[in-house]
Amino acid sequence: MSRLADELPLNEQPYEPFDQSEDAAADPPSHRELYEARNFFWLMLHQVLLRIGWIFKTESIVMPMFLSMIGGSSLMIGLLPVLNRLGFSVPPLLYAQPLKLSPLKQRMVARSSLLMAAPFAVLSAVWFSGAWQTTGGSAAWWMPWLFLAVYGWFFCLTGVNQLGMHALHGKLIRADLRGRLYTAAVIVGAPVAVVSAWLLLPGWLKLPDGGFGWIFGFTALAFLASGSMLLFTREAPDRLTEPPTKPLQKFVDAWRVVRDDPRARPVAILSGLVCFNFMLFPHYQSLYPRRPGGTVVDYLGEIMLWVCVQNAATAVVSLVAGPLADWMGNRAALRCSTLGLASGPLIALLLAQASPEAAREQFYLVFMPLGFMPVTIKLLMNYTLEAAPDDDHPQYVAAIGMCIAMPVIVGAPVVGYLVGRFGAAPVFIGGLAVLLLAFLQSLRLPEPRHG
């Protein structure tokens, strides 16, 4: 960097999009270029297989439905987003320094990817064994609690895995290709996932026990295959050292990143606003006007349509957002995706005013804006990768993950209580207001590619 840049304050220094650290310079500069096409393919295939497994455990549809079936209360359903965000925040924050100091991040990411299959293998085994049932055929009292424990275990593994994947992408794939990597994975993975769900889920759900042994078993196999793909990537070893940090200090350091670093603060505020949509997730399907006495089997067609629409929407959004992020920057793509998120509560509120027949016919529209959520989270992390110093990618990604998680952990039970106490409409009006504020905050983001 020039002498002039050395004299500038941190927040005014010119942005350098690729590895400029001493550690990166110590490696042959051609290493990433030499293996980038190969790594792009295997990382894409990993994401494709992950998406296929993920559709069989969709958080907004399949998981709440399963918990209701085994006797879970509305309070337990409200805990799903809390456990989700806890797993995506605390474990990654504690794991960030070991990941940063790991010479080969690929091995740690592959290990966590393979371990993600274990919770669903446990659920599948319990379901096939019949141990979850009482002699009367109903679910045992402990089954909802076992499910919540396994669900939380899975998201602890997933949070660690996603942190590793963001760090690995930041190391192996240059900034102006990461959007295309995500888009390619969704374009290939979403249609295959939708077709798989459409062919397999109806038959399994019609089984007397709901077919969840097959659903969870297939999910476990897909995650095993996904983790195996990472073993084929090629990575130059890092040579980083720093003294170990106490667990409590890691939380303090994350807060300091958000508080003091002008590169992290705007995206941290945006993340805290966007995450309100997670609090609404379990309550979207509860707005569906069910017929009296209806069972899960009676709504198989609707459930399949919702699952497919949500995943197809993610594919369509990523088809635009990925190239837009590579061409104009993640900031531009974030502005579009946050505005798209706000349409979810708006559509839900409009359908709530319609007749039950019209709402049933058009309810699939509610799940289209939910396709913006995974794309928005990916864009937030890619924006963070560009804004953060190269060697500090894990710490910055973990800090932003905490900003997404903490409001959900605190607010999701409150949202569940308010929905039960006052109904969904006032809560969704508040959600619409928060997501519109998120769009306004996206307009204030600086563009790291332009300095």
Q: Which two tokens stand for residue 164?
A: 């590793």
133 three-class SS:
strand
Task: Give the pLDDT confidence score for residue 395 in this predicted structure.
Answer: 76
CB 450 within 8 A of CB 292: no
Does 8 fall in a domain?
A: no
Residue 450 is predicted with a pLDDT of 61
18 domain residue, yes or no:
no
Which pLDDT value is given to residue 277?
85
| Element (DSSP H or E) covering residue 417 | helix 393-422
329: left (phi over 0), alpha (psi -120 to 50) or beta: left
- Own/partner long-range contacts of 128-134 (Cβ < 8 Å, ≥24 apart): 128/213, 128/217, 132/70
- Residue 219 token pair: 């999910």
Q: Is 9 within the bounds of a domain?
A: no
pLDDT number for residue 33: 67
| Cβ atoms within 10 Å, residue 346 | 16
Instruction: Tell me the β-bridge partners of 29.
Output: none
DSSP conformational letter for 56: T
What is the domain extent for residue 48? 30-236+245-450
DSSP-derived 3-state class of residue 139: strand
pLDDT at site 23: 46
Domain count, the chain: 1
Residue 403 resides in a domain: yes
Instruction: Please tell me the pTM assigned to this model.
Output: 0.70
Q: Give the model's pLDDT for residue 297.
A: 54
Q: If we measure between CA atoms, which residue out of 328, 298, 304, 325 comes closest to residue 381?
A: 325
3 lies in a domain? Answer: no
Instruction: Give domain status of residue 13, yes or no.
Output: no
Query: Does 223 map to a domain?
Result: yes
**AA letter at 192:** V
* Look-up of token digits 């290709």: 177
CATH number at 75 reads 1.20.1250.20
Q: How many CA atoms lie within 13 A of 283 on its CB side?
A: 29
The verdict on residue 349 lying in a domain is yes
Give the per-residue pLDDT at 193. Answer: 86
The DSSP secondary-structure symbol of 287 reads G
Which segments of the chain have a pLDDT < 50?
Answer: 1-28, 30
pLDDT value, residue 362: 85
